[in-house]
Chains A and B, each alone.
Chain A
């Protein structure tokens, strides 16, 4: 009787030694792998590092009035709204005046590079997923896994492999931010009206002509929603990635947490919110411009 209660209240586990051995061997073999191939992998990512450094230098090195001017031109071309442009000028001045300009530029460069990489890999993967049901069956659970796994957990293997620094940070941000890009590209292409595809077929279009002339352009508004989501996720991850050595606003937030500097944390947090709003408004505006032909008015 006593034995049974024991069985029910305490979950039957593997012997402690066995679990320890399992963890040890797995970690050891992974460490051995990273010791063996770590340098090789690092040099593989070297071009990416150069690309990232180029952007950071460009943004930090360019005089601030030019940066504000360029962002405003982009914003105005997308939104055609003076309110948003004035809002951007005021908030960027606030960030700069509070001494966070360089940090914000570093974060901005980081996000731009992460977004470009996510688009470059996400769109082809999304197209492949839309074209093949088998690809969809394989990729969907991987994306689910990537999106639900706590981001702190996949920092660990990246750090073990590549150490602390910009590249492991960038990789973890891309991995975290790419799922919506892939998903929404897939969705956008699969949503294209069946009859329009049939029309393209009836004129003898090749698969490539169908993709470039019909499917991709019609999926573009959905794909742009994916770009927007990816930027937002990259912004969120930039803070977490500061734990493994990514500089910028996130590093200051991390410093504020470890030292309990409330004001420092708030200010940098605010700067991140400003960056998020600017990116969001501009990318959404471009998404809407693409859909202009869909409205019936403007005759």
Chain B
């Protein structure tokens, strides 16, 4: 069981002149619309509880206005909550003094922004070393570290350009390198790829996954795009109107949506591209003897449905045998269940 890097406990955020007096009302079931109409306060976050495991990639998903950007800004306390706890490495961030908070931000977290938020008057190199400059790291060392990350995100040769001379995708690579150069434990990504073209976005997702495989940071990734969430997230939390709607891994959310809201989200997802054989395989005990005795087709457990569906159509097997990397059988999948899953 991995330990929790971040524990969010009973977090509330109400925007308005007198927020703390209204927590009781929110607790007794006053919703976002009513709070706005009757009390002229905006409900930002409503009793959020979330544990984020160390080294995991946590996606927080929701439509605009669902409170996801508000939530991520509580982790490094860019926004003060109305009440609740934000525990990082066993320490409540909300109890830190102003000075301790600056140290916390310098050393524990780094953030990547939707609109990049680069400094237009500084070069790529100066932008990437900005966090190190703030930490007053010696210049030669800062530049060495920065160049390493500029190289890693594929921007070598661009270090003396200004951000405005780069394309959107390249600018966000600078944003990513700037965050990584600080070597934070926690990487906060606020809709980091939402402003990019679909192709560039896919590139950036792949870069992130590749880096994460090696760096094993704790990443909190905000998105409004379910496909992106399913592709990236070890764990996904879905927010609606400031409340947590459902939390779980990609398969849970896809196969077992708990609310109407999540169901609607999940409807349009191409399941064959997301679900892997191991996600949907069945225990041999649940499969009839006749089927087990008949012909089977072997599929790899890590393959998504899309990878073997063409073969299934051609060979029309009654039963698929799911094998692990060593070719050992670890489960079965009837073609009935497969078609059921694809039918939704």
CB distance from A113 to the nearest CB of B (A): 30
User: B78, A203: Cβ atoms under 8 Å?
Assistant: no
The answer to whether the Cβ of B217 comes within 8 Å of any Cβ in the partner chain is no
Residues of A within 8 A of B103 (CB): 204
Closest residue of A by beta carbon distance from B107: A204
A189-241 interface with B by 8 A CB criterion: 193, 195-196, 198-206, 209, 213-214, 217-218, 220
User: A198, B113: Cβ atoms under 8 Å?
Assistant: yes
Residues of A within 8 A of B131 (CB): 203-204
The answer to whether the Cβ of B119 comes within 8 Å of any Cβ in the partner chain is yes
A281-299 interface with B by 8 A CB criterion: 293-299
Mark B100-126 against chain A: 1 for CB-CB distance below 8 A, else 0: 011111110111011101111100000
User: A218, B120: Cβ atoms under 8 Å?
Assistant: yes
Closest residue of A by beta carbon distance from B126: A213
Contacts A217-B121, A299-B165; is A199 near B133 (CB within 8 Å)? Answer: no
Most B CB within 10 A of own CB, among A196, A204, A218? A204
CB distance from B39 to the nearest CB of A (A): 25
CB distance from B309 to the nearest CB of A (A): 43
B180-195 interface with A by 8 A CB criterion: 182, 188
Distance A44 CA – B258 CA, assembled complex (angstroms): 78
Residues of A within 8 A of B110 (CB): 202-203
B117-157 interface with A by 8 A CB criterion: 117-121, 130-131, 133-135
Mark A170-197 against chain B: 1 for CB-CB distance below 8 A, else 0: 0000000000000000000000010110
Residues of A within 8 A of B106 (CB): 203-204
Residues of A within 8 A of B130 (CB): 200, 203, 213
Distance A248 CA – B294 CA, assembled complex (angstroms): 109
User: A293, B111: Cβ atoms under 8 Å?
Assistant: no
Residues of A within 8 A of B161 (CB): 299
Contacts A201-B78, A296-B165; is A196 near B134 (CB within 8 Å)? Answer: no
The answer to whether the Cβ of B64 comes within 8 Å of any Cβ in the partner chain is no
| Interchain CB contact (< 8 A) of B182 among A193, A203, A220 | A203
Number of A-B contacts (CB under 8 A): 73
| Interchain CB contact (< 8 A) of B105 among A193, A202, A295, A296 | A202
CB distance from B267 to the nearest CB of A (A): 33
The answer to whether the Cβ of B162 comes within 8 Å of any Cβ in the partner chain is yes
CB distance from A142 to the nearest CB of B (A): 29
Residues of A within 8 A of B117 (CB): 193, 195-196, 198-199
Distance A294 CA – B119 CA, assembled complex (angstroms): 11
Size range of the interface on B?
Answer: 20 to 34
Contacts A203-B110, A206-B102; is A294 near B164 (CB within 8 Å)? Answer: yes
Contacts A202-B78, A203-B110, A204-B106; is A196 near B119 (CB within 8 Å)? Answer: yes
The answer to whether the Cβ of B56 comes within 8 Å of any Cβ in the partner chain is no
Residues of A within 8 A of B118 (CB): 196, 199
Distance A198 CA – B120 CA, assembled complex (angstroms): 15
CB distance from B209 to the nearest CB of A (A): 23
User: A201, B105: Cβ atoms under 8 Å?
Assistant: yes
Residues of B within 8 A of A214 (CB): 119
Mark B80-107 against chain A: 1 for CB-CB distance below 8 A, else 0: 0000000000000000000001111111
28 contacts between A and B (CB under 8 A): A195-B113, A195-B114, A195-B117, A196-B118, A199-B117, A199-B119, A201-B105, A202-B76, A202-B111, A203-B131, A203-B182, A204-B101, A204-B104, A204-B105, A204-B106, A204-B107, A204-B134, A205-B134, A209-B134, A213-B134, A214-B119, A217-B119, A217-B121, A218-B121, A293-B121, A294-B120, A294-B164, A299-B161
Taking A204-B101, A204-B131, A294-B120 as known contacts, 14 extra A-B pairs with beta carbons closer than 8 A to each other, sorted by chain A number, are A193-B117, A195-B115, A199-B113, A200-B134, A202-B111, A202-B188, A203-B106, A204-B135, A209-B134, A213-B134, A217-B119, A293-B164, A294-B164, A297-B165
